[in-house]
Structure 1
Amino acid sequence: MTVVAMDTSALMMPVEAGVRLFDELDRVVGDYDCVVPRAVVEELDSLSQGGGEEATAASVGADLATRCRTVDHEVSYADDALVELGPRFDYVVTNDAPLRERLLDAGVPVIHIRAQNKLAVSKP
C-alpha cells in the first residue's frame, strides 16, 4: 500500500488554504496509509496553545493527525524527522517550500498545493 506522511503545514492546510486534504489525497494517490511523525504531532500541539488563525489551524491539524498512524523517530525537529524517514514513505505532504526542496533533494516525492486548493505531486 502507498504510504503518505504528513507535515505540520499539510495538516494545517484545511484552515490556512481551504484544502479538503483527505479528499485531495484520495484524488491524487488513491488508496493509502497515512502516517505522521511524532514530532509533527508535538509541533501541532504546541502551536495550538497560542491564539489566532495559526492556533486554530494547528488545533484542526492535531485532530486530523488522529486519522493517521504516528511513527517514532530519533530526531526532535519535525522537518528533520520527515527527511530522515522520507525514504520509508512513497510521498510526503507539505506546503513548506524549504522542506519540499530538502525532500526532493533526498529523492522523496512531495505532494503540495499546486493550484488554489488542489494538490499535486513533484518528483525528484
Structure 2
Amino acid sequence: MVVTVALDTSALMMPVESDVRLFEELERLVGGSEVRCTSDPSGDTPRGIECVVPRAVCEELSKLSDGASEEAVAASVGADLATERCRVVEHEASYADDVLVELAPEFDYVVTNDGPLKERLLDAGAPVIHIRGRNKLAISKP
C-alpha cells in the first residue's frame, strides 16, 4: 500500500531551516515504509510513501530562492527535493495553500510548518504532519 504525503513550501525548507531529516522522519512516522518516487520500473505492487508537491509550491520555492539569504538557500534546496524526490501535480489554483486545502482529501497526510495552513487543513479533516520540538515531526489529526 502506498501512503500519499503532500508537502508544502515550509516542509521542503525544513531540512535547511530546522535541521529536519524530512524523508527519514516521514518513514519513522508513517510506519517505516520507504519514501520513493511514484515511478517503479519493476512493475511490482506499489508500496511505501509517495511524496506529492503541487506545482504552486514549486513556483513559490522558485520565487523564494532568489538571492543568497538563508531563506533563499533553504528554498533552493526545497526546490531540488521537490523535483528529485517528489511527484509534482498540476492544479488550476495558483496559491499553494489553497491548492493543498482543496486537494487534501486525496492525500493521507499533508506536511507543513505553517500555523494558519495547519489549522485550515485540520478544519478540513486532513491529518497534518508538522515540526515538534527541535527537529522531529509529529502528526496532528482532526
Same fold, judged at TM 0.5 (above): yes
Provide the residue aligned with 2:66 in structure 1: 49
- 1:49, 1:3 → 2: CA distance? 30
- 1:116, 1:8 → 2: CA distance? 19
Quick one: percent identity of the two aligned structures? 74
With the length of structure 1 as denominator, give the TM-score of the two structures.
Answer: 0.97
Instruction: Give deviations 1:62-86, integer Å, cap 9, x for gaps.
Output: 0110210001112100000100111
Provide the residue aligned with 2:36 in structure 1: none
- 1:107, 1:10 → 2: CA distance? 19
Aligned residue among 116, 119, 141 for 1:98: 116
Unmatched segments (≥5 aa) in structure 2? 34-47
- 2:49, 2:5 → 1: CA distance? 7
CA RMSD, Structure 1 to Structure 2 (Å):
0.7
Determine which structure has more spread, i.e. the larger CA radius of gyration.
Answer: 2
Unmatched segments (≥5 aa) in structure 1? none
With the length of structure 2 as denominator, give the TM-score of the two structures.
Answer: 0.85
Structure showing the higher helix proportion among its residues: 1
Moved runs in structure 1, 4+ residues, more than 4 A? none
